[in-house]
Amino acid sequence: MKPKKVLLLGSGALKIGQAGEFDYSGSQAVKALKEEGIEVVVINPNIASVQTSEGFAYRTYFLPITPFFVEKVIEKERPDGVLLGFGGQTALNCGLALDESGVFAKYGVRVLGTGTDAIRKTEDRDLFKRELLSISVKTPKSRPVSTTKDAMEAAERIGYPVMIRAGFALGGEGSGVCKTKRELESRAKAALDKSDKILVEEYLGGWKEIEYEVVRDAEDNCITVCNMENFDPLGIHTGESIVVAPSQTLSNSEYHMLRELSIKVIRHFGIVGECNIQFALDPKGEDYRVIEVNARLSRSSALASKATGYPLAFVAAKIAIGKALIEIENSITKTTKACFEPALDYVVVKVPRWDFNKFPKVSRRLGTEMKSVGEVMAIGGTFEEALQKAVRMLDIGAQGIIHNIDLDIEKELKSPTDRRLFAISLAVSRGFSTRRISNATGIDPWFIDRMRNIVEFSGKIRANRESLLQAKRLGFSDSQIAFFAGKKEGSIRKLREKFGIFPVVRRIDTLAAEFPASTNYLYATYHGKESDVAFNGRGKVVVLGSGTYKIGSSVEFDWCAVEAANELRNLGKKTIMINCNPETVSTDYDVCDSLYFEELTLERVLDIYGMENPDGIVVSVGGQIPNELSSSLSKNGAKLLGTSAESVDCCEDRNKFSKLCDSLGISQPRWSSLSSRKEALDFASNAGYPVIARPSYVLSGEAMRVIYDATELSEYLRENTKPSDERRVVISKFIENAREVEFDGVSGKGNVWKHVMTEHIENAGVHSGDATMVTPPQRLPKSVRDDILGKSKRLSKALNISGPFNIQFIVKGNDVSVIECNLRASRSMPFVSKVIGSNLVSLSVRSMLGMGNGISREKRIVVGVKAPQFSFSRLKGADPMLGVEMSSTGEVGCIGNDFNDALLKAMISSGIPVPRKGVLLSISGDERREEFLESARRLSGLGVDIFATEKTRAFLGRNGISAKEVSAELPASLDLAICIPKSSRKEELMRKYGIRRALADRNIPIITNLELAEALTESLSKIREKDAEIRPIEEY
Amino acid sequence: MGAKGSLVLEDGTVFEGVSFGCPRSSTGEVVFNTGMVGYPESLTDPSYRGQILAFTYPMIGNYGVPKDRKSNGISTVFESGSIHVSGVVVSDYSKNCSHWNAAMSFGEWLNGNRIPALEGIDTRALTKRLRESGTMNGSIIIGKGGMERSRNPIEEVSTEKPVVYGRGKKRIALIDCGVKNSILHSLISRDVSVIRVPWDYDIFSLDFDGLLVSNGPGDPKRAHAAIENTKKAIELDIPTFGICLGNQIMAIAAGGDTYKMKYGHRSQNQPCLLEGTKRCYITSQNHGYAASLDGAGNEWKTLFTNLNDGTNEGIVHRTGRFFSVQFHPEANPGPTDTSFMFDRFLGMLK
């Protein structure tokens, strides 16, 4: 029976192992159910997600995905069904807990799709293996254990090396290979800290890793939508692997043996909906093992959807409400049905994106745990073409697999890191044989040989027609070709034009051209002689999406891109989206009129621009990658919509921007760009320490640091950069104990149409992406707010802004200075838009099209708090200390009638729970301890155990607060830690790194900022979890 | 790099490419297959006799060509003793292959069997052309060599004399119009004896319990003898099962008809709905003609229907004793979901 009202559990903030793919799956589910006339209630504190956009679902709750809050929503909404499979492991675990505690039964809520019994059988490793054994399907030899001693015994029986796996864990957290007893002992111990039960398993390193995406309906129709092969062998987490679809090295019998097994397993478990199954396949025979089954939408299913054009999440949602596969339309062809298996006539390559440069202490070594923070997907006619495209999409400065960086080839091949592709190409060019590389890496020779084709051709590139065409077919960019042929990038484009070498545009049609497609899901390739599309029509606007997610650029820019496309459509424009990130909603082909799953590079955007001949291009909604293309696109004749490229350039260029501020009488913290060590030291001592230093040439602002004295600066300059004319270092005055304020605005022809101010809770010194923030500001006097608005208006006028912009201000007392200004949508735009109930992106689009200020009234007056989500437990070795470098991987935003309510909900949503057992305090320096005293009193009033490090404990004791001592071993019953260093001097930070890291390894949330700790303890003392307001955004 | 060559369609369209098989010219009906794996199986499938086969999956040859292995004297890796296509067309030939079981590269295999092949062809553009204009004849032209014309293809691929396989008690007569080895394996592994006979053999001179009419190339209406024998088997109430061409022969024997499809079904992802249910199976297919029950008596019913285009995918007699499917339950290449059809057939033998 079709339900009337369905609750959908989202996945919360983006973190490593659980990212934007669940915004895709959740939003598809909402669309699929809405189409059936079902009311969908969404719970998700991820305020930047598309699924929580106003008017999208029937009701939207920005609340934590915890059993407590979900039950509250069930009590209020009384849905008759619930979907657990669209919000990742978070939703699944929460749903299982609610099922076990009888909440679903109590309120008569039916779990739609795959039942909880089936989910449990796939989640509990032990049950899982027994089930598969009962149908004679092989799994790795293994033993479940719950003590370290049993783990050691099991390993003896199975034989080293063995693999440790923790059940119910996101993205393989706590898993690892152990070659020796000692390794096993420490790993088992760590894993058992997080999980009651772990598995010791036979190690299948070097086997191929193959995945199938399987769909089954209640009629027992069962199809495999896609298979995928990992480029990297088993032993490297699939989220860390380069993945290729379809499989490349499997014969028909292997492909169909695994397909048949997939269907057998999925039927046995009784999955209703979508699931993913992973296999290990012996590279020297047809032996296999089933590694795992994910009875829910997953990262792989998002990838498979984008790779094939088959909307897995959409179909899974339809199946969940009882539809059969034969009753669901193939939304690409519109003439055939969803009951078929896509045939691809192209190859898809996914490459993960890592941000190791942000975490200097983290090992770059890839293994069984996930560390990547994003991914890209490239489509091509050959593996070579797709792989080279993918490398460029990563936005790491590499133009393809040939990227000369300093590395130890032998070591890289044996112990792969994020640089292994470059190591392989280097090895090829140094004469390593395919066999040698394959033996060292475990990567199939087929892939190595394909990479060899690229490397070997690079030396033969010439500026003639045949050579250019061949180079383009191998995926070389114009700039790479220019490099190898000794020419300039622009001249290669001219040559191509002369020779008539252009990419063709093809449709992803799910059926390899067997049937015509009615959907414009497109990619470009040089392996063709004609395009599938005619490129006619007028009134087209191109929107550039965000590209890969990485630290600092994530789902918020996807929301902006989707909202921009929606508004353009509303205004009658034909929209063309360009993006290359498979975890996004903007790459759903129904979001726009044409979707190019393509590179966000000057070359490719110009290619598309040239073919489509649009009215203009929007570069200001996809974050920094499109923003940085502004000038070059404009110079090459592309028409930017909204603010001019000159203005963008003025804000990106520090010198130009400073001149502008000076001319407008707007102050900035003192800064200078310096080309020698002496200049740097002189400037810093003149300006006065502390200062912030950063190299001017490093991508994505890495290696930025606060520096407190000349010794530290000398050391910094030695370690990070040797300043010269080409490699200048930028030093600016760091203002201590100041507040930061974000100004998000939309202007039309220079006039500010709309603005929202957001105040950081932490003092300046915490990166805006890591700061907890509140809108409207709670502590800013009117005079300061007026000053900020006045300065923003002057900047807007001077830059003649038409569209979105964000200015960061620093406020000390009554002094307001500008830190930076970005003429694009900011990270906080979805947050502020949803809090005030007025969509700033829609408004921006109207401005960009030169229309009047049509919509603008704020709907509501509430308090919104945005909080960061960290993934430190994944990043072994990283210091979980906040600083000027961004380190959070996601964010949440919650709404309340007052600050304390909103803050508490936001904190719980970001994984900082209301403490019930114990809180650890480690506050350094007398001054800090004094400042923290009031907070400590509030905590002790909560009735939880207080643990404290030696000096903190003594201080608390003197003030009448009793605390237990923390020895070398962390107490078992901890649910929160507050560790505040005396300052962010390097030596200060080193002192307590050990304890912070130990906490992160134990997955205990840590607060390292005094202002945030104070705000949190105040909220905790004023409001209890059970009193938190349970209201959907629609009711505020 | 190989010699330059081209594919010329009868409507005059020319696709330029590079030779990677035997450098000679050849002619045939140009068809496309959308399967992503299984080129050794496809090329040795007798149903492709005389056709130039284009693969829509762009990289072909990745895992080379396997060493031959036999069971009951029948190859388990190839579908017959030779390559039947008259030419191969791909976008990107994988000259480096990698597989534990590879005996040689795809190009070497083609060369050894004197089969011409072209790479560097926009197979998507070719597919769209065939989809829009219908299947047509064409030639691979490499160098100056002359062209060969095909004769009755069924005659070319059928066995010359009867062969017996297996030791099971039940005996199946198999009319070989170009049978795939996997059909033989599917039967033998179910413990029956198979008497494989030429397509026009007088089967009633044999003692058998059930009849299987095999797949095969070309126009079913040219298989007069097989049609007549099928009619007679039905009259004699002998359980009869047809596969692919066998489905078309069964339809004609039932009084129905066949027609040439615009561009056929050649893929591993064809959804077939079991009539009267909501069960749909993913099937492997290779046919250019389709069956129709127009004119057949009302004791005949549709068994399966193609969910994509509504064409007939199988028929069944009211008694259930005579039935046939347009798809390949023996798979290879392709999915194995419908292997139960063999059980259904053998279940009727008493």
- Which region, left, alpha or beta, applies to residue A841 given φ > 0 means left and ψ of -120 to 50 means alpha? alpha
What part of A 381-400 touches B (C-beta under 8 Å)?
381-383
Residue A503: is the preceding peptide bond cis (ω within 30°)?
no
Residue of B34, B59, B333 with shortest CB distance to A383: B59
Within an 8 Å CB–CB cutoff, is residue B38 touching chain A? Answer: yes
DSSP of A729-757, one letter per residue?
Answer: EEEEEPPTT-EEEEEEEEEETTEEEEEEE
pLDDT above 90 for A966: no
Tell me the pLDDT band of A172, cut-offs 50, 70 and 90: low
How many residues belong to chain A?
1036
d(CA A26, CA A88): 10
pLDDT above 60 for B147: no
Rg, Å, chain B Cα set: 20
d(CA B110, CA B92): 15
For residue A53, the tally of other CB atoms under 10 A from its CB is: 24
Q: What is the mean pLDDT of residues A177-206?
A: 87
Tell me the pLDDT band of A854, cut-offs 50, 70 and 90: low
Q: What is the mean pLDDT of residues A620-631?
A: 96
Q: End-to-end CA distance of chain A, in Å?
A: 33
Residues of B in contact with A250 (CB under 8 A): 37, 63
Nearest CA in chain A to B55: A345
Q: What is the mean pLDDT of residues B92-108?
A: 97
Q: What confidence score (pLDDT) does residue A361 get?
A: 86
Considering only CA atoms, which of A172, A221, A238, A177 is closest in space to residue A202?
A177
Provide φ and ψ at A563, rounded to 5°: -65, -35
**What residues contact A195, with CB distance under 8 A and at least 6 apart?**
A166, A167, A168, A169, A174
d(CA B196, CA B184): 9
Interchain proximity B99–A259, CB inside 8 Å = no
Name the percent of chain A lying above pLDDT 70: 98
Interchain proximity B333–A343, CB inside 8 Å = no
Residues of B in contact with A511 (CB under 8 A): 34, 269
Name the percent of chain B lying above pLDDT 90: 95
What pLDDT, in 10s, does the model give residues A422-436?
Answer: 999 999 999 999 999
Nearest CA in chain A to B336: A260
Q: Which two tokens stand for residue A791?
A: 């300065």
What pLDDT, in 10s, does the model give residues A867-915?
Answer: 999 999 999 899 999 988 899 999 999 999 899 999 999 999 999 999 9
d(CA A413, CA A698): 26
pLDDT above 90 for A518: no
Residues of A in contact with B58 (CB under 8 A): 345-347, 381-382, 527
Judge residue A974's burial from the number of C-beta atoms within 10 Å of its C-beta, 0-12 exposed, 13-18 middle, 19 or more buried.
buried
d(CA A804, CA A778): 24
CA distance A345 to chain B (A): 4
DSSP of B98-142, one letter per residue?
Answer: --TTEEE-HHHHHHHTT--EEES--HHHHHHHHHHH--EEEEEEE
Residue of A250, A381, A382 with shortest CB distance to B37: A250
What pLDDT, in 10s, does the model give residues A52-69?
Answer: 999 999 999 999 999 999
CA distance A656 to chain B (A): 50
d(CA B341, CA A159): 44
What is the DSSP-derived secondary structure letter of residue B222?
A: G
Tell me the pLDDT band of A173, cut-offs 50, 70 and 90: low
Q: What is the mean pLDDT of residues A449-464?
A: 96
Q: What confidence score (pLDDT) does residue B145 get?
A: 54
3-state secondary structure A568-603: HHHCCCEEEEEECCCCCCCCCCCCCCEEEECCCCHH
Q: What confidence score (pLDDT) does residue A144 get?
A: 86
What pLDDT, in 10s, does the model give residues A643-687?
Answer: 999 999 999 999 999 999 999 999 999 999 999 999 999 999 999
Cα dihedral: A410, A414, A417, A423 (round 10): 40
| Mutation target vs B (from A252, A437, A530; most B CBs, 10 A cutoff) | A252
What part of A 318-337 touches B (C-beta under 8 Å)?
324-327, 335-337
Residues of A in contact with B68 (CB under 8 A): none
Provide the ipTM. 0.94
Q: What is the mean pLDDT of residues A624-629?
A: 95
| Mutation target vs B (from A284, A435, A514, A527; most B CBs, 10 A cutoff) | A514
pLDDT above 50 for A815: yes
Q: What confidence score (pLDDT) does residue A701 get?
A: 47
Tell me the pLDDT band of B149, cut-offs 50, 70 and 90: low
Tell me the pLDDT band of B144, cut-offs 50, 70 and 90: low
Could you tell me if A955 and A1034 are in contact, meaning their C-beta atoms sit under 8 angstroms apart? no
Residue with tokens 């380069």: A242
d(CA A124, CA A139): 14
d(CA A377, CA A387): 9
Within an 8 Å CB–CB cutoff, is residue A430 touching chain B? Answer: no
Considering only CA atoms, which of A253, A251, A259, A301 is closest in space to residue A279?
A259
Mean pLDDT highest for which of A240-254, A722-736, A984-998? A240-254
Judge residue A972's burial from the number of C-beta atoms within 10 Å of its C-beta, 0-12 exposed, 13-18 middle, 19 or more buried.
exposed
Residues of A in contact with B92 (CB under 8 A): 381-382, 527
Could you tell me if B261 and B31 are in contact, meaning their C-beta atoms sit under 8 angstroms apart? no
Three-state SS at A345: coil
For residue A970, the tally of other CB atoms under 10 A from its CB is: 19
Within an 8 Å CB–CB cutoff, is residue A1004 touching chain B? Answer: no
Interchain proximity B307–A251, CB inside 8 Å = no
Work out the angle between the directed axes of helices A312-320 and A299-308 (0-180°, nearest 10). Answer: 110
Mean pLDDT of the residues in chain B:
95
What pLDDT, in 10s, does the model give residues B194-216?
Answer: 999 999 999 999 999 999 999 99
Q: What confidence score (pLDDT) does residue A698 get?
A: 54
Q: What confidence score (pLDDT) does residue A1030 get?
A: 97
Interchain proximity A221–B280, CB inside 8 Å = yes
Residues of B in contact with A522 (CB under 8 A): none
What pLDDT, in 10s, does the model give residues B260-274?
Answer: 999 999 999 999 999
Interchain proximity B122–A283, CB inside 8 Å = no
Which contiguous run of DSSP H or E holds residue A489? Answer: helix A489-499
Side by side, the strands of the sheet bearing A594-597 are: A504-507, A521-525, A594-597, A574-579, A540-544, A616-618
Please, what's the largest Cα pairwise distance for chain B?
Answer: 60
Q: What confidence score (pLDDT) does residue A724 get?
A: 85
d(CA B313, CA B247): 8
Could you tell me if A825 and A618 are in contact, meaning their C-beta atoms sit under 8 angstroms apart? no
| Mutation target vs B (from A256, A263, A318, A385; most B CBs, 10 A cutoff) | A256
Within an 8 Å CB–CB cutoff, is residue A255 touching chain B? Answer: yes
Interchain proximity B269–A341, CB inside 8 Å = yes
d(CA A413, CA A390): 20
Rg, Å, chain A Cα set: 28
Tell me the pLDDT band of A852, cut-offs 50, 70 and 90: confident
Q: Across-strand partners of B321?
A: none
Nearest CA in chain B to A533: B125
Reduced DSSP (H G I as helix, E B as strand, rest coil) percent helix, strand, coil of chain B, to 5: 20, 35, 45
Least confident of A70-84, A385-399, A989-1003, B238-252: A989-1003
Three-state SS at A347: strand
What pLDDT, in 10s, does the model give residues A971-981?
Answer: 888 999 999 99
| Mutation target vs A (from B18, B55, B92, B93; most A CBs, 10 A cutoff) | B92
- Which region, left, alpha or beta, applies to residue A637 given φ > 0 means left and ψ of -120 to 50 means alpha? left
- Which amino acid belongs to residue A953? R
Residues of B in contact with A444 (CB under 8 A): 98
What pLDDT, in 10s, does the model give residues A309-363?
Answer: 999 999 999 999 999 999 999 888 888 899 999 999 999 999 999 999 888 889 9
Query: What Å distances lie between residue A17 and A90, A368, A371, B74, CA to CA?
Result: 11, 12, 8, 49
Which contiguous run of DSSP H or E holds residue A957? Answer: helix A950-958
Residues of A in contact with B333 (CB under 8 A): 252, 256
The pairing of strands B300-306 and B257-274 is antiparallel
d(CA A653, CA B65): 59
Could you tell me if A256 and B334 are in contact, meaning their C-beta atoms sit under 8 angstroms apart? yes
Interchain proximity A381–B92, CB inside 8 Å = yes
Residue of A284, A344, A382 with shortest CB distance to B92: A382
Q: What confidence score (pLDDT) does residue A860 get?
A: 80
What part of B 313-342 touches A (C-beta under 8 Å)?
331-337
Side by side, the strands of the sheet bearing A671-674 are: A671-674, A729-733, A691-695, A705-707
Within an 8 Å CB–CB cutoff, is residue B279 touching chain A? Answer: yes
Q: What residues of B are annotated to the active site?
A: 244, 328, 330
User: How many CB contacts within 8 angstroms connect chain A with chain B?
Assistant: 164
Residues of A in contact with B310 (CB under 8 A): none
Could you tell me if A802 and A651 are in contact, meaning their C-beta atoms sit under 8 angstroms apart? no
Residues of A in contact with B38 (CB under 8 A): 251-252, 255
Q: What confidence score (pLDDT) does residue A700 get?
A: 46
Q: What is the mean pLDDT of residues B123-144?
A: 93
Q: What confidence score (pLDDT) does residue A166 get?
A: 74
- Which amino acid belongs to residue B70? K
What part of B 107-136 touches A (C-beta under 8 Å)?
122-125, 127-128, 131
What is the DSSP-derived secondary structure letter of residue A327?
A: G
What part of B 76-105 touches A (C-beta under 8 Å)?
77, 91-92, 94, 96-101
Could you tell me if A627 and A610 are in contact, meaning their C-beta atoms sit under 8 angstroms apart? no
